[in-house]
Amino acid sequence: MADDVFIAINSEALHAKSKVYMGRAMMRKAAGDLDEYQLWASLALELLGKAALARQHPCLVVDPQHAPSMFVAAGFNITTDVKTITAKTLFERLTHLVPRFDKLVQKFCMEIAERRNAELHSADLPFKTMRLEAWEERYWHACDTILRHIETSLEDWIGAADAAAPRQLLAEAALALTAAVKLLVESHRAAFQELKKAERENLHALAELREPDKQTALFPERYDEIWTVSCPACACRAFVTGEQTGEDITKEADEYGIWETVDREFVGEEFKCPTCDLALTGSDELDAAGIDYIHTDQQEREMEYEPDYGND
């Protein structure tokens, strides 16, 4: 990858511009203009997300259907008309790059982007109807998630003084989430313990017979993998589902060139226990319940080969 990648998709330039927009957002908040505060904040979030993708590689932020932009991403500046991905694609890609950028965060980011589009491209006034407490806490959580991934902080992004309030808001939200999850787990644990010992033992035995590949009905959304964990409430076999975020070939193809061994990594999105009905959503809730939301496994699979082009 060339070092002189075009400024439009340069990670540092995108990050710097997001800081400028965040500064404008904070100025509008200080002036009491909460509509424009949310507008600039939404723009800053999208630029920050693109900076994170471009930091991995500039090709992740250009439109794959626009060949000149792909050349620019490779370091060949053949055009200044660079086409970048939509907000929908941006936030979808971040779920694969940033471990804690889960589907809950993705959904919120899309909501604020859609309100931004409605504000700019229609007669609607979506920001006018949004109360500050309805979005700000989740906004700072999304930003903090991305900033941590690119090894910086809210303090660097918006200035130490201005970051004090968001940091306090995040700390209070984290405490509230942890308390709520612990109470939820405790209530399910208490209900399970009220059962007779023989019934609890029978439920444990039945839970051990459940296999991950038979649990798709538990999760309405489609995910890449389902794996087993111990339920923090009843200690029975329970299940987590999530998206694959990476893989490495740890053993090359065998002597016949058919099988290879792959280490895979997933980020948990949902937890469900069929025994006590405990359900958790998002990596933050899983973490608060003491469930490791990062899952790794090893898979032996048949190698896939590209089809012939048919022009030989």
pLDDT in tens, the chain (312 residues): 444 567 888 999 999 999 999 999 999 999 999 999 999 999 999 999 999 999 999 999 999 999 999 998 888 888 888 999 999 999 999 999 998 899 899 999 999 999 999 988 888 888 888 899 889 999 999 999 999 999 999 999 998 888 999 999 999 889 999 999 999 999 999 999 999 999 999 999 999 999 999 998 999 877 889 999 999 999 999 999 998 988 887 766 656 567 778 889 999 999 999 999 999 999 999 999 999 999 998 888 776 655 555 554
The pLDDT value given to residue 106 = 95
pLDDT of residue 2: 44
Helical H segments across the chain, by residue range: 11-30, 34-56, 67-73, 87-97, 103-121, 136-149, 154-158, 160-193, 197-208, 283-288
Q: Which of 37, 55, 33 is nearest to 45 (CA)?
A: 37
pLDDT in the model for residue 1: 41
Contacts of 58 (CB under 8 A, 6+ apart): 1, 5, 9, 10, 11, 72, 73
Residues, the chain: 312
Identify whether the C-beta of residue 177 lies closer than 8 Å to the C-beta of residue 288. Answer: yes
Cβ-based neighbours of 73, under 8 Å, separated by 6 or more: 5, 9, 57, 58, 59, 61, 62
CATH architecture label of 7-158? Up-down Bundle (1.20)
Of 86, 95, 85, the C-alpha closest to 59 is 85
Cβ 108 vs Cβ 134: under 8 Å: no
pTM: 0.80
Predicted pLDDT of residue 3? 47
What is the enclosing helix (H) or strand (E) of 298? strand 294-302
Domain ranges of the chain: 7-158, 197-302
Contact indicator for 223, 242 with CB cutoff of 8 Å: yes
> CB under 8 Å to 14, separation ≥6 — which residues?
47, 48, 50, 51, 54, 61
